[in-house]
Chain A
Amino acid sequence: MASLACSPGLTLAPFRRMYGDVHDVLLTDSFFEIPQRLDEAPTREDPEARVLQVIAMPNRTRFEAAVAQWLDDTEFDSLPDEMRDHVSFQAIVQDGVAVVPLIAAHLRRTPSFLFLALEEIFGEDPVPEDAYGNLRTTVSAWLRWLQH
């Protein structure tokens, strides 16, 4: 059975809304494995990889395109208000918790202001005050919060 993992606190509802009657989705604590799994070509010998790809690839492709556009268009912006106003950012946030693992994977690869999407999605701010103003420690605080 495929295991589309989900981090604690997340639900399957967004996946079911997007992909319909998905039965073989499990809640596990290893959601962050998905991007690595998706890089593997599905094979007959590994049906799990195929199922994961069917479930998550369309979402991931759209997400990566939106992030790339957003990062490029806001490269010269300094203030988060401007970054939040961008149409691609709004599209990312609109996908809600479904894209959280993709955001986390992206932030792990490349720390960026994409953490602002997590603020919007969760309405939380787990960043300690002494990390404010430092992008990398801010991103680290968010990744720790997502895992715990």
Chain B
Amino acid sequence: MASALGVHERLIAEFPKLAETAYQLTSERTDKYNCIAWAAGDDGYWWWPGRFWPKGVPAAVTKVAFSKAFAERGYVECDVPDLEEGFEKVCLYTKLGRPTHAARQLPDGSWTSKLGKNVDISHELEGLRGNKYGQPALYMRRPRSAELEAQAPSDDESIAGT
């Protein structure tokens, strides 16, 4: 990436704990999708309550509403972020009780995040803790087989403008 140094500097400025933890850039910058979509396995849309959001899920920026949104993708709440054989996990960050960000666990136990309109990274959960996104506040998991069964959201009639 031609501007990789600039990107790293920007990331560290916004998320200082990335400097103390392992992370890698995994995409170019794009505003095609956001963190919620990416955590849910969708790289084609920008998910947000009231617009592009699972039908029947409250259009609210609350932990409960976001939990229900991921539940529509087969996730159930769990206690810890640790890697579990056969399961894929997502983590919801909140700041002052409001959802700010979501990350998805990779098979090696690291996490993948889309950072706003910027890049995707693989990282440790601790790396994004801080003033911007707050802290990890909710973990959910689903069998990895469910990942394969999930339809592409763009073809999924349960995901639409609300």
A residues in contact (CB < 8 Å) with B = 74-82, 111-113, 129-135
C-alpha spacing A132/B14, complex, angstroms: 28
Supplied contacts A75-B118, A79-B100, 8 more A-B pairs, CB within 8 Å? A76-B118, A77-B116, A78-B34, A79-B34, A79-B99, A112-B31, A133-B37, A133-B46
C-alpha spacing A102/B44, complex, angstroms: 29
Tell me whether B115 is interfacial, beta carbon within 8 Å: yes
Tell me whether B132 is interfacial, beta carbon within 8 Å: yes
What are 22 sample pairs from A and B whose C-beta atoms fall under 8 A apart? A75-B14, A76-B118, A77-B100, A78-B34, A78-B100, A78-B116, A79-B48, A79-B61, A79-B99, A79-B100, A81-B61, A111-B31, A112-B31, A113-B117, A131-B161, A132-B51, A132-B52, A132-B160, A132-B161, A133-B47, A133-B51, A134-B45
Tell me whether B69 is interfacial, beta carbon within 8 Å: no
Is the contact region of chain A dominated by helix, strand, or loop, or is it mixed?
A: loop
In chain A, what residue has the closest Cβ to B99? A79
In chain A, what residue has the closest Cβ to B153? A133
Of A79, A81, A112, A129, which is in contact with the most chain B CB atoms at under 10 Å from its CB?
A79
- Closest CB of chain B to A23's CB: distance in Å? 43
Contacts of B47 in A (CB 8 A): 133
B residues in contact (CB < 8 Å) with A = 10, 14-15, 31-32, 34-37, 44-48, 51-52, 61, 98-101, 114-118, 132, 160-161
Contacts of B36 in A (CB 8 A): 78-79
| A-B pairs under 8 A by CB, number | 58
Contacts of B160 in A (CB 8 A): 129, 132
Q: Is the CB of B46 within 8 A of A130?
A: no
C-alpha spacing A78/B132, complex, angstroms: 11
C-alpha spacing A59/B143, complex, angstroms: 55
- Closest CB of chain B to A79's CB: distance in Å? 6
Of A78, A79, A131, A132, which is in contact with the most chain B CB atoms at under 10 Å from its CB?
A78
- Closest CB of chain A to B117's CB: distance in Å? 6
- Closest CB of chain B to A133's CB: distance in Å? 3
- Closest CB of chain A to B72's CB: distance in Å? 15
C-alpha spacing A81/B35, complex, angstroms: 15
C-alpha spacing A79/B32, complex, angstroms: 14
C-alpha spacing A74/B115, complex, angstroms: 10
In chain A, what residue has the closest Cβ to B132? A76
Q: Is the CB of A82 within 8 A of B32?
A: no
C-alpha spacing A73/B118, complex, angstroms: 12
Please give me the 4 A-B residue pairs with the lowest Cβ-Cβ distance, nearest first.
A133-B52, A132-B161, A133-B45, A76-B116
C-alpha spacing A81/B10, complex, angstroms: 23
C-alpha spacing A71/B160, complex, angstroms: 27
Contacts of B48 in A (CB 8 A): 78-80
Contacts of B31 in A (CB 8 A): 111-112, 135
In chain B, what residue has the closest Cβ to A112? B31
